[in-house]
Structure 1
Amino acid sequence: MEKIRPKKLGHLVLMVRDIQKSVRFYTEVVGLQVSDWISDQMVFLRSGEDHHDLALSQIPKDAEGINDLPHYGRPGLEHFSYLVEDRAEIDRTVKVLQEHGIEIVRGIGKHGPGENLFLVFKDPDGNNVEVYCEMTQIPPGSDYRPQVWERNIDSFDQYRFKHFVVAPPQAVIDAKSGKH
C-alpha cells in the first residue's frame, strides 16, 4: 500500500483556557511573533518564516466541564501537522487514507490565515493529524502586518467546502448559518 510523503513536522494547534495570557507567554517569554488573529478566539504565531508553527485557540466559555474530544473543551492539542509537497500530494493523501480505512475529519480546504491548503485525519488514538502545503512565508525584514480575520467561513475555508472530501464540521456549518 501507498504511504503519505511528509517533508517535515509543521505546526500544531493548542486549545487554551485564556488566549490573552497564552499569547503573552508565547510572545514575551518564548519569543514568538504574532502573524494573524481570527477574532479574539484564535492566534497564529511563528518562530521562523512559516506563517505559523503554533496556533492557539480559545476554549469556548460554555465548554466548562466538557472533556470529550469532539468538543475540545479542555486545554491541549487540537492537531499537529506535516508539510507535504503540493496540492497533488494532498489529493494523493486522500487516496492513501481511503486505502488504509483512515477517518478523514476535514478538508481539502484552504485556510484564510496562512493561506495553506489542509486535510485533517485521525490517528489510531483519535488525535487529529493534518497534512498541509503552500503556507504563506514571512521572511525576515518583511513588511507583513498581522491582521484580524472575522470568525467565518472564509477564515476556515476560502474554498467554502467545494473541495471537501467529507461533510464539513457541524460547528462550522452552525457558525455559517448563525446558530450557536
Structure 2
Amino acid sequence: MADFATRRREAESRLVELKHMHGIAMLDGKPFDLAEMADVERELSGLDAAEGEAVRRERLEAAKIEETRLEGLRQTLIVVEEHRLEAADRAEKAARDVAEALKEFRLRSADAVGLLRALGVNNVLALDETDHRMSWRLTAALKPLTGFGRRFGQIVFPEARSPYDQPWRAEEQAIAGRYISKALKGDLQ
C-alpha cells in the first residue's frame, strides 16, 4: 500500500504539471499532446483499482484468519462443554452419594444410640446431635466453593467452625468412644 501511495503522489504531481503545461500551451496558442496526460489519468485510475483490490484481498485474508480463529474456539468449546457436562455428572453423583451416606450415617447413629440405651447408657446427647454436627462438617467441606464469601448460588453458608473441619471419622470416634467403652465394659455410670 505504501508503494501505491508513492506512485499516486508522483502521478498526481505529474498530472498537475501536465495540466499546468497544457494551460500555458493554450495561452500561448501552441499545440499540446494530450496523450501523456491521458496516460497519467489512466495510471491513476489503475492505481485506484489496484488499491481497492489490495484492500479487498486484505479483508478477505483477515476474514479467513478470523474464521480460523473462531473455528478453533468452536472446537475448544466442544471439548470444554463435554468436560463441563462430565463434571456435572460427577457432581450430581457425588451429591447423591453424600446424601445417601449422610442418611446411612444418621440411621447408624440412631442404631448406636438405641443400642447404647438398651445397654443402659442413657446420657448420649452428643450422639443425638448427629444432624447438627454433620451439617457443620458438610458446611466446612463445601466452604471452599465460596472462597471468602458465604454464598454458593442460593445456598448461604454459616461460618464453619474449626472442630468441624477435622477428619469426620476420628471426631465421631472421639465423641462416641467413651459411651461405647462404657457399654462394652458394662460400666453404666
* Structure with a larger share of its residues in helix: 2
Report 1 or 2 for greater relative contact order, CA contacts < 8 Å, sequence distance ≥ 6.
1
* Structure with a larger share of its residues in strand: 1
TM-score range, shorter chain: under 0.3
User: What is the TM-score of this pair, normalised by structure 2?
Assistant: 0.23
Larger radius of gyration: 2
